[in-house]
Chain A
């Protein structure tokens, strides 16, 4: 048998923090993947490293990127079976021409199916369609003994729900069967709405529940009566009849693979307070002057940042983290206000992108998944001196209001902030799990 290809390398996830020296094992053959699992005391399954913090990092990593084959497709019912290392971008290119879209997609298309299940990712349609697991009909998992176990919401139900949102703790997902969403076109009909403060924002969210997609961008520099002002963005799959004649010629056009590369780390001073202020100002005004409603390609609507490969490097060599939390709905207004006040008072840490979304109903079966019914807020924070203390202050507010933090973004929060089982010991581990065990 071939020896599984292995190399030692320093790697990090999307936030470029932390950096970890890892032995990376990789194979396209299931038998070799099983052998690696059997031979390892500790192993970390890894997809495309699009989590931000220290999930999917470890001393021994099993990269699933070579498990990148599509295994079956039923064009009549929109059911796709593929291996776990297939990227959502690859799936989109394949399914679009057949008239299907991803049932749930995060804000980047460069994640794997395995990562989507392990994080149980959510999208702008959470209030309508829930998380990725709700569209996952089945997956096959290599367990710690090296057996392949088939799991679904009916079969091996408990393992299924231990795995979705389980961050790789139960084993290596090797393939999955997903139910796709039928669509008429690749285009999204959108509406941008200017909202003057947090109370209005929450009201606006409640009033747009019939839109499939909704998310808001918040201007975090404003306090007082303007606190929480921002833009609410709503979207719906456009119908064929709604397209302009130029787009009607190729209504099911997939995204193009053209992208700009950010070739080096920008020096960190580029992202100082001043640029952030300017950015917020421009974004807030320009968008509204130009865009109120219209029709755009899905790539523009869902993945605006994907067209700049490695945009994460704009935060400089030290990297950044994303802090994403969710608060129960009843505490959301008070909690968000407390949080935004804290954010504004921590002058040294202004943030580029702050995103707010109202999640729909909690899925009681998917007990390790991050979403719960209520508001979720996400912000990028550049890493510098004092970040640990800042995150601690954030955690205290979120905890006080009964919220929790998203493991897929995290590198700093403490254990009490997460939805985790008591026992974190096991073969499938990660830098994150080891940090939270302590």
Chain B
């Protein structure tokens, strides 16, 4: 199979590429500055006898007239969207450019690309789309609500898309990672038992896609944590420091 991975440098993407290659699937990694990933590409190819392609792709500059992207999507069986940007909420409060960057990289530009993917897969009448959203989108909190609201939008978009494409033979998977130990979170002090390794995250994503799951948490505990967090009454929640 041909797998497209949007967001090349994410530690999850690299691990997805490795694990898909181990099952003999060809992988294309799309992202910015992908020439730095040349050693990774060679390593995976040599160890697994598959093809790994790197494709320079800045989603902020994307528009749907890009023929190369169209062709790649058309040749693919699975597209996994990992592009995202945590950003800095304090900065976003003061600076609209940061706010726009957060919304674009987690929602707006992301769904524009998903729209092209869905059109292409619908016309092929086959394909699986996986989107990596976040539990941050399940309830807004003061530390990252710009990011959270964009991920909320993405989650709802993926729900609707799944519903819409169900009769057309195209499946949509929503991944909610919880905490993952990646570059994005390297400076945060995350509780170990709630934090998934990139290996575990990739394994969960691959399995969810293969089994055509709808919504998947990488770490099951997060499902219950979010039930509790969502159950906190607003008069209490608004006073909490999270």
Co-assembled chains A and B: yes
| A70 and B183 contact, CB distance less than 8 A | no
The distance from the CB of B235 to the nearest CB of chain A, in whole angstroms, is 41
- Chain B residues near A94 (CB-CB < 8 A): 47
Stretch at the interface among B34-42, B95-103, B112-120, B132-140: B34-42
Given known pairs A2-B183, A5-B186, the reply for A70 and B43 (CB within 8 Å) is yes
- Chain A residues near B39 (CB-CB < 8 A): 28, 30, 67, 69, 71, 83
| A69 and B36 contact, CB distance less than 8 A | no
| A71 and B36 contact, CB distance less than 8 A | no
Question: CB within 8 Å of A: which of B177-209?
Answer: 183, 186
B46, CB-defined interface residue at 8 Å: yes
- Chain B residues near A70 (CB-CB < 8 A): 42-43, 46-47
CB-CB nearest in chain A for B41: A69
- Chain B residues near A83 (CB-CB < 8 A): 39
A-contact bits for B33-68, CB 8 A (1 contact / 0 none): 000100110110011000000000000000000000
Count A/B pairs, Cβ under 8 Å: 27
A67, B43: Cα distance in complex, Å: 11
| B186 and A69 contact, CB distance less than 8 A | no
- Chain A residues near B47 (CB-CB < 8 A): 70, 94
- Chain B residues near A2 (CB-CB < 8 A): 183
A52, B39: Cα distance in complex, Å: 30
- What band does the interface of chain B fall in when counting residues whose beta carbon is under 8 Å from A? under 10
- Chain B residues near A30 (CB-CB < 8 A): 36, 39
A282, CB-defined interface residue at 8 Å: no
B-contact bits for A40-78, CB 8 A (1 contact / 0 none): 000000000000000000000000000101111100000
| B43 and A71 contact, CB distance less than 8 A | yes
| A72 and B46 contact, CB distance less than 8 A | yes
A73, B46: Cα distance in complex, Å: 7
Given known pairs A5-B186, A94-B47, the reply for A72 and B36 (CB within 8 Å) is no
The distance from the CB of B241 to the nearest CB of chain A, in whole angstroms, is 27
A72, B47: Cα distance in complex, Å: 10
Given known pairs A31-B36, A94-B47, the reply for A72 and B42 (CB within 8 Å) is yes
Question: CB within 8 Å of B: which of A16-30?
Answer: 28-30
A28, B40: Cα distance in complex, Å: 9
The distance from the CB of B212 to the nearest CB of chain A, in whole angstroms, is 33
The distance from the CB of A112 to the nearest CB of chain B, in whole angstroms, is 15
A69, B40: Cα distance in complex, Å: 6
A70, B41: Cα distance in complex, Å: 10
The distance from the CB of A172 to the nearest CB of chain B, in whole angstroms, is 15
| B186 and A71 contact, CB distance less than 8 A | no
- Chain A residues near B183 (CB-CB < 8 A): 2, 5
A334, B186: Cα distance in complex, Å: 58
The distance from the CB of A92 to the nearest CB of chain B, in whole angstroms, is 13
Q: Which of B39, B43, B186 has most chain A Cβ within 10 Å? A: B39
The distance from the CB of A66 to the nearest CB of chain B, in whole angstroms, is 10
CB-CB nearest in chain B for A175: B39
A73, B49: Cα distance in complex, Å: 12
- Chain A residues near B186 (CB-CB < 8 A): 5
A29, B186: Cα distance in complex, Å: 16
- Chain B residues near A72 (CB-CB < 8 A): 42, 46
A31, B34: Cα distance in complex, Å: 12
A28, B14: Cα distance in complex, Å: 12
Q: Which of A29, A69, A71, A73 has most chain B Cβ within 10 Å? A: A69
The distance from the CB of A393 to the nearest CB of chain B, in whole angstroms, is 48
- Chain B residues near A67 (CB-CB < 8 A): 39
- Chain B residues near A5 (CB-CB < 8 A): 183, 186
CB-CB nearest in chain B for A67: B39
CB-CB nearest in chain A for B40: A69
A59, B36: Cα distance in complex, Å: 28
A5, B187: Cα distance in complex, Å: 9
The distance from the CB of A401 to the nearest CB of chain B, in whole angstroms, is 47
The distance from the CB of A35 to the nearest CB of chain B, in whole angstroms, is 12
A178, B46: Cα distance in complex, Å: 16
| B36 and A29 contact, CB distance less than 8 A | yes
- Chain B residues near A71 (CB-CB < 8 A): 39, 42-43, 46
A71, B45: Cα distance in complex, Å: 9
CB-CB nearest in chain A for B44: A69
Partner of B42, one of A28, A29, A31, A69: A69
- Chain B residues near A28 (CB-CB < 8 A): 39-40
- Chain B residues near A73 (CB-CB < 8 A): 46
CB-CB nearest in chain A for B186: A5
A83, B183: Cα distance in complex, Å: 22
Question: CB within 8 Å of A: which of B2-27?
Answer: none
The distance from the CB of A75 to the nearest CB of chain B, in whole angstroms, is 10
A71, B46: Cα distance in complex, Å: 8
- Chain A residues near B43 (CB-CB < 8 A): 69-71
A50, B186: Cα distance in complex, Å: 27
Question: CB within 8 Å of B: which of A62-102?
Answer: 67, 69-73, 83, 94
Question: CB within 8 Å of B: which of A262-315?
Answer: none
The distance from the CB of B199 to the nearest CB of chain A, in whole angstroms, is 15
- Chain A residues near B36 (CB-CB < 8 A): 29-31
A71, B47: Cα distance in complex, Å: 10
A83, B186: Cα distance in complex, Å: 24
A72, B43: Cα distance in complex, Å: 8
The distance from the CB of A32 to the nearest CB of chain B, in whole angstroms, is 9
The chain B residues found within 8 Å of chain A, CB to CB, are: 36, 39-40, 42-43, 46-47, 183, 186
A-B pairs, top 6 by smallest CB distance, nearest first, are: A69-B43, A69-B39, A29-B36, A70-B43, A71-B42, A70-B46
The chain A residues found within 8 Å of chain B, CB to CB, are: 2, 5, 28-31, 67, 69-73, 83, 94
13 contacts between A and B (CB under 8 A): A2-B183, A5-B186, A28-B40, A29-B36, A30-B36, A30-B39, A67-B39, A69-B40, A69-B42, A70-B42, A71-B42, A72-B42, A72-B46
Kindly list 5 other residue pairs between chains A and B, CB separation below 8 angstroms, not including A70-B46, A71-B46, A94-B47: A28-B40, A29-B36, A30-B39, A71-B42, A72-B42
